[in-house]
């Protein structure tokens, strides 16, 4: 290799070597750290953040893991994740609803204690908290679904009759009873987890899940026809013919079904 000009100095060579070495080491160490940081975002579904917690990604940039929210929690609901024990980003606050649910204090002391705003100080009404959404995950074992009047999740709900209602349905099994279906309404449910904690089954049939798991979402362009019709005060599409609904079983206008009867109106003649 031929060199033109002045020979390169050994100091320069050493400087470049040392810098390359340090940079290489930092890239390796930084990659491991970045991988850990990515891993830390995987919050287990049963781990719920305190009320007012920022979305998980923002939360990890904001929470300094001081534990002041844990200290202010009067019900010992919150705890800090322990290294290698809880699969939550180490040192960050969380709670498990089935162990100790959030009691939804009116003054929200955990949010007031947070020095960084990782728990959003804008949350001034605990009923607006969104720690998760309760979902009746097991309709096969839920006692109410079996036709019993357990109702415990409904009765303990701090936002009773708004976050959980009992919807009456016909009990097809017995044929003459009702089923009172505990039904969660996500816009009122705070995700406090009292329902999950109180479920009488050995494994709760109603569970609080993070919204990302609990909820679907409607496409932005979807419209509910009946709402549009009501808003317009007339059918959305003009001149549409409302055909009779063909339902199975007796008492319908389905002539094929036993007990079917002639419809009270004439269908339009099809001309050839």
Partner 1 sequence: MTARTYMPLGQEAIAAKGWLGAHKYLLLRRTSQLFFLVLFLLGPWFGIWIVQGTLAGSLTLGVLPLTDPFIFLQSLIAGHWPALTAAIGAIIVLVAYALIGGRVYCSWVCPINPVTDGAHWLHRKLRLQKGWQPKRGARLWIMATVLIVSGLTGTIAWELVNPITMLHRGLIFGMGFVWAMVAAIFLFDLFVSRHGWCGHICPVGAFYGLVGSKAMLRVSATNRTACDDCMDCYAVCPENHVISPALKGKDTPLILSPDCTNCGRCIDICAEDVFKFTHRFDALTVAPPESTAAPQPRASRPF
Which residues, 71 to 110, sit near partner 1 by CB under 8 A? 71, 79-80, 82-86, 89-91
Site string for partner 1, 115-144 (x = CB under 8 A): xxxx--x-----------------------
Per the CB < 8 A criterion, the answer to whether 119 and 111 are in contact is yes
- Can you tell me which of 13, 14, 17, 18 binds partner 1, judged by CB under 8 A? 18
| CB atoms inside a 10 Å sphere around CB 109 | 15
Residues 23-62 that bind partner 1 (CB under 8 A): 23, 25-26, 29-30, 33-34, 36-38, 40-41, 57-58, 60-62
Nearer to partner 1, 71 or 215 (CB): 71
**Closer residue to partner 1 (CB): 57 or 176:** 57
Residues near 241 by beta carbon (within 8 Å), at least 6 away in sequence: 268
Q: Using CA atoms, how far apart are residues 219 and 228, in angstroms rounded to an integer?
A: 16
Q: Which stretch binds partner 1 (CB under 8 A): 111-119, 184-192, 199-207, 244-252?
A: 111-119
CB 187 within 8 A of CB 133: no
> Of the two residues 63 and 204, which places its CB atom closer to partner 1 in the complex?
63
Nearer CB in complex with partner 1: 59/180: 59
Quick one: 47 or 134, whose CB is closer to partner 1? 47
Residue among 34 and 236 whose Cβ is closer to partner 1: 34
Cα–Cα distance between 168 and 181 in angstroms, integer?
A: 6
Which of 43, 48, 70, 136 forms a contact with partner 1 (CB under 8 A)?
70
Distance CA 137, CA 155 (A): 18
The candidate with the shortest Cα–Cα distance to 194, out of 99, 101, 70, 87, is 101
12 touches partner 1 (CB under 8 A): no
| Other CB atoms within 10 A of residue 58 CB | 13
Q: For residue 2, what are its two tokens?
A: 């031929």
Please report how many Cα atoms fall inside a 13 Å half-sphere around the Cα of residue 137, on the Cβ side: 16
List 142's β-bridge partners, or say none.
none
Residues near partner 1 (CB under 8 A) are 18, 22-23, 25-26, 29-30, 33-34, 36-38, 40-41, 57-58, 60-68, 70-71, 79-80, 82-86, 89-91, 113-118, 121
């Amino acid at each position: 290799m031929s060199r033109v000009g002045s020979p390169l100095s050994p100091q320069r060579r050493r400087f470049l070597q040392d810098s390359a070495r340090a940079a290489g080491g930092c890239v390796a160490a930084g990659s491991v750290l970045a991988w850990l940081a990515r891993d830390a975002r995987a919050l287990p579904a049963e781990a719920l953040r305190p009320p007012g917690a920022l979305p998980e990604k923002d939360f990890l940039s904001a929470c300094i893991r001081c534990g002041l929210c844990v200290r202010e929690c009067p019900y010992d609901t919150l705890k800090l994740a322990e290294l290698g024990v809880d699969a939550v980003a180490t040192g960050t606050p969380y709670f498990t609803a089935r162990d100790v649910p959030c009691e939804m204090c009116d003054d929200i002391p955990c949010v007031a204690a947070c020095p960084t705003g990782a728990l959003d100080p804008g949350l001034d009404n605990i009923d607006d908290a969104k720690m998760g959404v309760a979902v009746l995950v097991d309709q096969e074992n839920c006692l109410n679904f079996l036709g019993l009047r357990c109702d415990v999740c409904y009765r303990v709900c701090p936002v009773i009759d708004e976050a959980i209602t009992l919807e009456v349905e016909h009990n097809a099994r017995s044929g003459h009873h009702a089923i009172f279906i505990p039904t969660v309404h996500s816009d009122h449910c705070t995700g406090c987890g009292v329902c999950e904690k109180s479920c009488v089954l050995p494994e709760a049939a109603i569970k609080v899940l993070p919204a990302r798991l609990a909820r679907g979402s409607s496409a932005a362009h979807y419209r509910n026809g009946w709402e549009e019709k009501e808003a317009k005060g007339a059918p959305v599409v003009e001149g549409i013919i409302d055909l009779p609904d063909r339902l199975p079983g007796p008492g319908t206008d389905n002539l094929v079904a036993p007990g079917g009867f002639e419809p009270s109106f004439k269908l339009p003649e099809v001309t050839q």
